Structure 1
Amino acid sequence: MSIATSGLHHVTAIAGDPQRNADFYLRTLGLRLVKTTVNFDDPGTYHLYYGDEAGRPGSLMTFFPWKGAPSGRHGTGQATTTALSVPEASIGWWKQHLAAQGVEVGQVHNRDGEDALTFQDPDGLGLALVAHPQGDPRAPWDDGIVPAEHGIRGLHSVTLSVTDETATAAMFDGLGLSFAAQDGNRFRFTAGEGGPGAFVDVLVTPDVPQGLVAAGAVHHVAWRAPDEATQATWREELLGSGVDVTSILDRQYFRSIYFREPGGTLLEIATDEPGFTADEPLLELGRALKLPPWLEPKRDEIDRMLPKLNLPAENNPGATA
C-alpha cells in the first residue's frame, strides 16, 4: 500500500465503575481527562478519554465504563498489554508510587534495552510503564497530580497476542509498519521513525485460549492518519486488498474506520484532526459532558442515566466553578 501510519493514535478498553476508572487514570497515573462524552452507539455509558494536556494523538487511552460489567479474559485475538512511556530515571519512582497506591507491581525487567514495569488497572487491564533508552521528547501533562519529571509521555506500544504471526505481519506491512526485532516468540514492528508511540509487539501464543473482550480488556487499537483524505485513500486500498472495512465514521474529535487484523484484534485508523478543543477550551477539557449534535435532543435523558464524576481540581487549571 502507498500509505504508512506514523504511530499509535489511541487504545480503547472496557472498564467497570466509571469513578474508579477516573480515580486510577487521573490520580494514580496522573493523566488528564480530556473529553467526557458517551459511547455514540450506546449513549447510556460514558466514553472517557485520558491523555496529555490537549489529548494529542499518541497520548490517549480511552474507556467505555459499564458499572457491573463482567470481567474479560486475556488471550489470543486481542491486545493484551498497553505500555505507556516514562522517563528512564523514573521507573524506580513509579514502582514506589504504585505500591503506595496499593497497586501490585512486578519486578522491573529489561528487554531490548528498555526497562519495563508491569501491573494492572483496577479492572485487570494489562499495563506497563516503559523507559526507552533514547528518551521520549513528548511533554507530559504538567499540571497533573504526578510530578512532571516523572509524568507519562504517552503511549509506548501495544502487545497483540496471536496464534500465528504470519498473516498479522503481512497486514502490518500494508499499514506501513516495519519488522524491527524478534525475541523468542515476540516480534516487534515499528511505524515511521520508530520510538515510543510507534511500536507494536506481536506475541505468538498458540496454546493460549481465545480472549474475551469485556471489563479489563482492550476493545480496539487505533493508528494515526494525518487527515481525512489520507484516511479515505487508505480505506479504498484496504478494501481493494480484501479487508472488510467500515464506512468512515464521525467521532467528533477524529474520523474513524475499523477492521480486524488476521489474528483477531480490532484495529482503527483515526485522523489527527480536528482534536479535542473542537468544542471546549483547552483549560476546560473533560469538565462538561459533550454530546454529538444527533444526541443533543436527548441530553436530559442521557444526563440522568450517567453517574456523576468527581474530578480532581488539577484536571482543569484556571477554570472557574
Structure 2
Amino acid sequence: MKPTTPGIHHVTAIAGDPQRNAEFYVETLGLRFVKRTVNHDDTGTYHFYFGDGEGTPGTNITFFPWTDSGRRGQFGAGQTRDTAYQIPPDSVEYWIDRLESAGVEVDQVERFGEPVLEFDDPDGIGLEFVASEQAFEADAQPWPESPVPAEYQARGFHSVTLAVPAFGPTASVLTDVLGFELEAEADGRRRYRPAGDGSEPGSSSGPGSIVDLVETDAGRGRMGVGTVHHVAFEAADLEEQERWREAFADHGQNVTEIIDRKYFRSIYSREPGGVLFEMATTEPGFTVDEDIDDLGSGLMLPEWLESERDRIEAQLPEFDPETVGAGAGAN
C-alpha cells in the first residue's frame, strides 16, 4: 500500500536581512517566532521558523536569512511562485487595511471561487492570503500574543503554486508518488489535492493540501535571496518515511537517505520540473527542546552542534530577537 500525505508540512525560503525578515512575519503577518536555530548544512546561517501559536505542522514558513549581501535569486521554472495561507472569509478587509498600512502593495483577485490577496514579503517572495471556509477546519492554534486578533489570524497553509516548464512531469510525481489528483483547471492553472475524502488518515482533502501548477517559459530559476528553497509535505513517522523513499525510487526519482533535522526527520527529492520536495515527519516537533511557552526564545542547536556553540554564535549575522514584536499589541 502506497503512503499518503495530508498535505504541506512547511515551506522553506531564502531571505535577506534576518531582522527585517523576522519583523515582517511576526509584526506584520502576526505569526509566532516558533524556533530560532541554524541551517544544519551551513551553520553560519540562521534558520528561522514562523507559524501558529504552537508551531503546528502545516503552519510553518521557514527561512535561511543570507543577509543583504547574499546572492539574489532569480525566479524561473522549477520554483515555488507563491505560498498561500488561509484566512477566515470575513477578514479580507482587515488584511487589506493592515498590509497597506505597513506599506505592502496588495492585489485582490478571485480564484476557483475564493477571494485571494496577492502580495510580496520584503525580499520579494510571493505570498497569498486565501479567504476560505476551510480555514475553520484547520488545526492551527491561535497565538494569544500576536499583534493580529485571533479571529483574523492566518490559519496555516492553503496551497503552494509551483511554476514548471510543463505540467506533465511534475503532475506525474504529484499523482503517482504523492497520491494527489487533478481537482480543477482554469486560467492556465491546474489544481491538485490528495485523493480521498478525508475519512482515512492521510487522505485529507482539507486545508493545507492544495498544490497548484502553472507553466512558465522562463528559464530555470536560480536559488538565492527572494526565492523558495523547498516545499515539504507531511509524513506520519519513520516507518512511513521509509515507504516514501521507496515510492520516490520506484518512480525513478533520486531520493536522499533519512536525515535528522532535530524537529522532524526528512527525505528530499527534486521532481523533474526542478522543484525540491521534502517529506517531513510530524514528530518530534518543536517542544523537544523548548517548552511551548518559550518557543523561539533562545538559539537552539541540535546535540551534534552544541559543542560548537561559541564558534557558531560568533559567526552568525547580527540579529536582535528582543526587538521582534516588542510593543506590537493586537490591533
TM-score (norm 2): 0.91
1:289 counterpart = 2:299 = yes
- Secondary structure, in 3 states, of the residue corresponding to 1:236? helix
Report the CA distance between 1:135 and its aligned residue: 3.8
- 1:1-321, aligned counterparts within 5 Å? 2-67=2-67, 68-106=69-107, 108-138=108-138, 139-173=141-175, 174-191=177-194, 192-205=203-216, 207-306=217-316, 307-310=318-321, 311-312=324-325
**Is this contact kept in 2: 1:246–1:259, CA < 8 A?**
yes
Q: Tell me: CA distance 1:288–1:99, structure 2 relative to 1, closer, same or farther (3 Å).
A: same
Q: Deviations over 1:207-238 (max 9, x none)?
A: 22322211110000000011110011111222
CA distance in 2, matches of 1:240, 1:135: 35
**Which range is displaced more, 130-139 or 26-35?**
130-139
Show structure 2 runs of 5+ residues with no match: 195-202
**Is this contact kept in 1: 2:38–2:44, CA < 8 A?**
yes
CA distance in 2, matches of 1:152, 1:300: 37
TM-score (norm 1): 0.94
Q: Which amino acid aligns with 1:219?
A: H
Report the CA distance between 1:134 and its aligned residue: 4.4
- Secondary structure, in 3 states, of the residue corresponding to 1:136? helix
Q: Which amino acid aligns with 1:199?
A: I
Q: Which amino acid aligns with 1:71?
A: R
How many positions carry a matched residue from both structures?
313
Q: Tell me: CA distance 1:33–1:134, structure 2 relative to 1, closer, same or farther (3 Å).
A: closer
Q: Deviations over 1:219-272 (max 9, x none)?
A: 000000111100111112222332100110000000000001111000000000
Show structure 1 runs of 5+ residues with no match: 316-321
Report the CA distance between 1:83 and its aligned residue: 0.5
- Secondary structure, in 3 states, of the residue corresponding to 2:230? strand
Q: Which runs of 4+ in 1 moved over 6 A?
A: none
CA distance in 1, matches of 2:135, 2:16: 34
- Secondary structure, in 3 states, of the residue corresponding to 2:136? coil
**Which range is displaced more, 140-149 or 17-26?**
140-149
Q: Deviations over 1:26-63 (max 9, x none)?
A: 00000001110000010011000010111111001000
Identity %: 50
Q: Which amino acid aligns with 1:233?
A: R
